[in-house]
Amino acid sequence: MDIQTVVGLVKDRLGIRSAVRDSYLTAIVNGVIEELTSEKGIVLGESNANHLIFVVDYVTWRYQSRDSEGAIPRHLQFRLHNLIFSAGGQGT
C-alpha cells in the first residue's frame, strides 16, 4: 500500500492543506499498516480500494482520537472484523 497516497487521502479528509503534520500522519499510517498485517493477519492489497479506504478511515480515527480513551467506533470495528474474516484471517 502506498503510504503517500494514504497520507494524502487522510489530509484531504481532515482538511489539512500544509505539510506540517506529514511526518506524524506518516508514522500513524505505518503503525496502522503494521498492526493490520502483523497483529491482525490481514494482507493489504495494493489495488484493493476497500483496503485503502479502511486504512484511511482507521488512520483518521487514530489521528482524531489521539487524546481520548474511547473505544474504536462500531463501524470501524465491524469493517475490521469483515476484513479479518473475509479470508479466514489470511487477508487478500
pLDDT at residue 69 tops 90: no
**What ranges do the domains of the chain cover?**
3-86
Q: What is the pLDDT of residue 91?
A: 43
Q: What is the DSSP string of 25-59?
A: HHHHHHHHHHIIIIIS-----TT-HHHHHHHHHHH
Quick one: DSSP state of residue 19? S
Per-residue pLDDT averaged across 71-83, rounded? Answer: 95
User: Which has the closest alpha carbon to 91: 37, 55, 12?
Assistant: 37
pLDDT at residue 37 tops 50: yes
For the whole model, what pTM was predicted? 0.89
Q: Which three cell numbers stand for residue 23?
A: 511526518
pLDDT at residue 8 tops 70: yes
